[in-house]
């Protein structure tokens, strides 16, 4: 058997999330990949570099599959890509060693969040979240406070039980953009790994600081797992799994 890594982009509005749902009438990204691979005679589980919730998109999710030795990366990409389109875009396929694991072999991952305080045309609403913004500099400062190794237990979705809630965020960046004639903002977060819903919960709290709903000290107390002050996540629309690194600089 051969092992392949697939780099995919997908429209999260078309799926119930990345992870299997095993519920009739509900389709996840991984289930769609598995069922499409079956049409090629490839019966393989799909292992991803992360998981995204319903409505969350991907620009560069990496997954691993296994297939018979008759397959090569070029032929697999050529035949599989049109079967996944248009909701999933197959961006690249390459052969990997059997020890490669999309999640545990990763050195870093990035997320992007695109939001606007204005009402967008309906064509853009699945991809740009509507979130009000208070003080721009306060949001910028709060995002910088996320950088470093911290116990993000209070920025995790309840019901998840990871072995550790310690995560390292390497960098954050906030920039203003104009999309469809409206003022928008893009947040980029790079970290070694993320807890379930961590990015949305962090962004929700950072935006709350910008609007004066909670203070910077409140945010720091929650960041350090002392006390939860805010638990409303930012909207899933506008959140993108950006990129995963297995080597090199990030």
* Spatial distance between the Cα atoms of 230 and 241, rounded to a whole number of angstroms: 23
* Residue 118 CB contacts under 8 Å (≥ 6 apart), including other chains: 130, 182, 183
* Residue 34 CB contacts under 8 Å (≥ 6 apart), including other chains: 44, 45, 46
Instruction: Verify whether residue 53 is a known catalytic residue.
Output: yes
* Spatial distance between the Cα atoms of 203 and 200, rounded to a whole number of angstroms: 5
Choose, from 53, 69, 97, 224, the residue flagged as catalytic.
53
Closest of 116, 124, 2, 102 to residue 57, by C-alpha: 124
Instruction: Read off the DSSP letter of residue 141.
Output: H
Residues marked active site are found at 53
């Amino acid at each position: 058997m051969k092992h392949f890594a697939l780099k995919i982009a997908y429209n999260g509005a078309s799926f119930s999330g990345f992870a299997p749902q095993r519920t009739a009438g509900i389709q996840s990204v991984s289930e769609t990949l598995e069922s499409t691979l079956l049409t090629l005679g490839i019966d393989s589980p799909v292992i991803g570099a992360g998981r995204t919730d319903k409505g969350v998109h991907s620009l560069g999710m990496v997954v691993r599959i296994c297939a018979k030795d008759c397959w090569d990366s070029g032929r697999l990409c050529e035949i599989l890509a049109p079967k996944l389109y248009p909701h999933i875009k197959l961006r690249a396929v390459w052969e990997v060693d059997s020890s490669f694991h999309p999640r545990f072999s990763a050195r870093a991952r990035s997320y992007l969040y695109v939001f606007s305080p204005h009402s967008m045309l309906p064509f853009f609403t699945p991809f740009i979240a509507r979130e009000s913004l208070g003080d721009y500099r306060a949001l910028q400062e709060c995002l910088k406070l996320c950088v470093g190794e911290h116990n993000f237990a209070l920025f995790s979705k309840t019901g998840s039980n990871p072995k550790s809630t310690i995560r390292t965020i390497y960098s954050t960046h906030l920039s203003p953009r104009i999309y469809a004639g409206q003022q928008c903002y893009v947040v980029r977060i790079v970290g070694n790994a993320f807890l379930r819903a961590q990015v949305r919960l962090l962004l929700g709290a950072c935006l709350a600081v910008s609007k004066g709903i909670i203070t910077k000290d409140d945010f720091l107390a929650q960041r350090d797992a002392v006390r939860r002050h805010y638990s409303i996540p930012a909207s899933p629309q506008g959140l993108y799994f950006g990129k995963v690194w297995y080597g090199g600089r990030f």
